[in-house]
Amino acid sequence: MALLQIQHYPEVVLTETSVPVTEFDADLRTLAANMVETMYAAPGVGLAAPQVAVLKRLVVIDCGDKEDPKLVVAVNPEIIERDGESYEEEGCLSVPDYYACIKRSERVRVRFQNLQGEVIEFNAEGLLAICFQHEIDHLDGKLFVDRLSSLKKGIFRKKYQKIMEQQQEQL
């Protein structure tokens, strides 16, 4: 297994739409394993393939903890039902050191395939529901900051530029 390089805003690959996975082979399993290792090392609770410059509809999510991991590897995930409203602070491995409250559905029903191609459906709520929505947005070429109002996007761009300048100074 290997750690993959996480792409950061404003990399173009983060704005592109991912293609559905059609081959459930060893390459897909290797990519998923590398994404899991990368997510844990970052550390994060979710990672989508475009974040590692692979435009495939694949996400890995773990909203558990070290004592009780709850890893989900979802191929071709989609939200088939939404319910309720949530307004929680989100961050993203592709937008380091920036957080904002984002409006999402509180509960979702998701459908995806596992690494063997079997279809799975289940209900997710709370952090898991937010993670699925966030990661599926990545597959559609959207970042959580794209969901901000125009005013907040302007503030984000200025603040993020300062964050990046500070990181460059530390190098």
Q: Is 73 left (phi over 0), alpha (psi -120 to 50) or beta?
A: beta
Q: State the chain's maximal CA–CA distance in angstroms.
A: 48
State the catalytic residue, choosing from 106, 135, 165, 169: 135
> Is residue 135 flagged as an active site residue?
yes
**Cβ(111)–Cβ(77) under 8 Å?**
yes
Cα dist from 108 to 31, 61, 81, 129, 150, whole Å: 26, 15, 5, 6, 27
Q: Please enumerate, as own/partner, the contacts of 61-66 that have beta carbons within 8 Å and a separation of 24 or more.
A: 61/128, 61/131, 61/132, 61/135, 62/36, 63/126, 63/127, 63/128, 63/131
Catalytic residue list: 135
